[in-house]
Amino acid sequence: MLRIQKKKGAASMIEVIISAIIFIIATYGILTTISMMRPQSGESARKLAAAYIGKQMLDDLRGKVDGRTWDSVNSDLTVGNHNRTIGNYFVAWTVVNTSGGNLRYVNMTIDY
C-alpha cells in the first residue's frame, strides 16, 4: 500500500510573506535610527571650520596686543567694529573698553 506523507516543517506562502514584511519593517526601523544618529557632516564641517578660523583670529589679535600701538588707525585692536572675510567666512569683531579703560575685550561673530 502506498502512503502519502505530509512533509512537516515546510513553510507556507503566507508564512513567508508575513516573515518578509516583518523583516522589512525591522530593517527600515534600524536604518532610520542609524541615519538619525549620524551627524550632518556638511553642517558640522562648516561649524568646525568657523571655530578654527575664530581661534586663529583671536590668536592673531592676541599677538598684536601692545599698549603703544593698539590705538593706531591701522590696528585691529582699536575700539570699535572690525571685519574681515576669510574664504567663505565673514569674521566681525568689536573691541570694547572695560569700565576702567585700561583693558579691552573682543566680541567676535563668524558667519558661514
Task: Please write the tens of the pLDDT for every residue from 3-42.
Answer: 666 666 666 888 889 999 999 999 999 988 887 776 667 7
Which pTM value belongs to this model? 0.58
Buried-exposed string 79-95: b where 16+ CB fall within 10 A, e elsewhere = eeebeeeeeebebebeb
Q: SS3 of 8, please? A: coil
- Band the pLDDT of 51: cuts 50, 70, 90: very high
Mean pLDDT of the chain: 84
Please, which residues bridge with residue 97 across strands? 104
Query: What confidence score (pLDDT) does residue 1 get?
Result: 58
